[in-house]
Structure 1
Amino acid sequence: MTGTQPFAGSILCHVNSELGEGPSYDPATDTAWWFDIKGRKLHELHLGSSAKRVHELPVMGSVFAVIDPARQLIASDEGLFVRHVEGGRLERLGAIEDKPECRSNDGRVHQSGALWIGTMGRSAEKGAGSIYHVAGTSAGIRVTKLYSNVSIPNGICFSPDGAVAYFTDSAVNHFMRVTVDPATGLPVGAPEILSDESGSPGDIDGAVCDADGLIWNARWGAGTIDVYRPDGTKIRRHAVPVTQPSCPAFVGAKADRLLVTSAWQGMDQAGRASDIHAGRTLELGVTVRGRFEPAFRL
């Protein structure tokens, strides 16, 4: 791996979210979306005009996806909701699991239109969470538990052909890969370790996989975005001006820009004073060969 590349980007949003997470981009409207999970807020940023809106939520949202031009999907601590674009009304779609002591965390829509969503204890209790597969059906949704005994699910993303899923438990810090059925997004093999990061600084957090199969991963606590080949080789590291980057997303009309959320969660007053951009949303400032997120198929 080459040395760490200095930050060459910019701050897209100067709001300091406690736990900025779950960024996504809708190319039809040129709009980036992300959450402050702890603040129960949904942020909306039109990239072309820089027009910004913040929507208060009655739930702790963590994952956002487009369903169609009129509807969006939100995964939260209270289950899955359809958000109606006109007016922002939330309509409960169903539960992820029957564990009120848990909340949703990292997730992403597979090319099949199914959602992978992770849950975790509200205070990151060891082994309290799981990773689920959620498929839309004519009757609503079908939820399948994939992996249990997960403390902090993260890193969920998929290869360009939809045949491989990546994920991690940040408390273990093993970046995992598993073969999946491209038609459904369901695993067809046993998970294997892609990269053992247990002895390295920082935690594997959110990730996206670009058009070339490279995995762009936010390294919580290390202040970097790390880039992996599909075989697990780490080839680049980009510095960011926040200690706790949380998740990247491809944005822009060509999906050639990388947005990164961050957090000030867990920092005391001195920590926040020394990390003034903590919780802000930034652009990495490098050209990428990204991909647009698929819609959730309901």
Structure 2
Amino acid sequence: MSVFDPTICTLGEGPLWHPERQSLFWFDIVNMRLYGEGRVHQFEECVSAAGWLDHDSLFIASETQLFTYHLETGAQKHVAPLEADNAVTRSNDGRADPFGGFWIGSMGKDMEKGAGAIHRYYRGTVETLYRDITVSNAICFSPDRRFAHFTDTHTRQVMRVALDAEGWPKAAPEVFIDTQTDGFFPDGAVIDAQGCLWVAHWGRSRVARYDTEGGFMGAVSIPARQASCPAFGGTDLDQLYVTSATMGMGDRAGPDDGKTFVIQTQAKGQREHRVIL
């Protein structure tokens, strides 16, 4: 595991490999910044996750809205409100789904219990899927388009839910990975082309890999204590990028905490799905 970018983020999150630009973008949520291609994009409120729309535009989730963002001009266009009337919450983990939709979780800015939710944007509308979420994370999708995954980190369980032909949940979520006994806190996650789920374990300096039945396969060590979210990228989608955070660490932060890392793997990721407005 090597340092991809030495910028120290307070809360690095939302890594996205843009398939047309062949570039990695990621956020520092609490500092309201988007990083990528050697540039810093500053916003006026927390931003946390994105999908891609075309070569030059991203679909971004902030604490109050979903909006499009032009990477070259900085032009923004409002698409839909996102808990805009709730000053307690902000957006957190999110990812485009295989159907052109975008799942986005929210959480309390001070991790208020049950303050968050998980929503789905799909072709012009936002629908709330799950409520009473404390820390939304691990939103990712199986390559066969059959399942979505997510977690409320404080439960220490990654859930799996079956999807219908338009990508909406069609059954109750079921426990897919249970780390309560191990004491891990699942954070951001991504699923590779073989259907295996890679999830960051917050506070444990690692990203763990699980098979299609939720069985533990192994883990990659990260030189930062608070690994937050993985993403596959690179020309062949075989490089694993991992964001990290220094939030809450104070003087205990090490020299690599908060940086963004990359490692060559023998796995191959899925191409990031495009958001359809």
Decide: shared fold, TM above 0.5.
yes
Are the counterparts in 1 of residues 80 and 126 from structure 2 also a CA contact under 8 Å?
A: no
Partner residue, 2:181: 199
Partner residue, 2:245: 263
User: 1:164-204: per-residue Cα shift (whole Å, max 9, x none)?
Assistant: 011100011111111012x3221011111112112323310
Tell me the SS of whatever aligns to 1:171.
helix
Partner residue, 1:43: 35
Q: Check if 1:166 corresponds to 2:149.
A: yes
Gap change, CA 1:277 and 1:201, over 3 Å in 2:
farther
Are the counterparts in 2 of residues 114 and 184 from structure 1 also a CA contact under 8 Å?
A: no
**For residues 184 and 113 of structure 1, what CA distance do their matches in structure 2 show?**
9
**For residues 72 and 78 of structure 1, what CA distance do their matches in structure 2 show?**
17
Q: Percent identity?
A: 38
Partner residue, 2:171: 189
Q: Check if 1:124 corresponds to 2:111.
A: yes
Q: Paired residue for 1:147, among 112, 130, 133?
A: 130
Partner residue, 1:82: 68
Are the counterparts in 2 of residues 116 and 134 from structure 1 also a CA contact under 8 Å?
A: yes
Partner residue, 2:190: 208
TM-score scaled to structure 2, two decimals?
A: 0.97
Tell me the SS of whatever aligns to 2:155.
coil
Are the counterparts in 2 of residues 164 and 179 from structure 1 also a CA contact under 8 Å?
A: yes
Q: Check if 1:54 corresponds to 2:40.
A: yes
Deviates more, 1:258-267 or 1:79-88: 79-88
**For residues 250 and 256 of structure 1, what CA distance do their matches in structure 2 show?**
6
Partner residue, 1:110: 97
Residue-pair matches, total: 276
Tell me the SS of whatever aligns to 1:184.
coil
Are the counterparts in 2 of residues 134 and 144 from structure 1 also a CA contact under 8 Å?
A: yes
Alignment of 1:240-279 (within 5 A): 240-269=222-251, 271-272=252-253, 275-279=254-258
Q: Pairwise CA RMSD of aligned residues?
A: 1.1
Q: Check if 1:28 corresponds to 2:20.
A: yes
Partner residue, 1:4: none
Shift of 1:161: 1.1
Q: Check if 1:178 corresponds to 2:164.
A: no
Tell me the SS of whatever aligns to 1:68.
coil
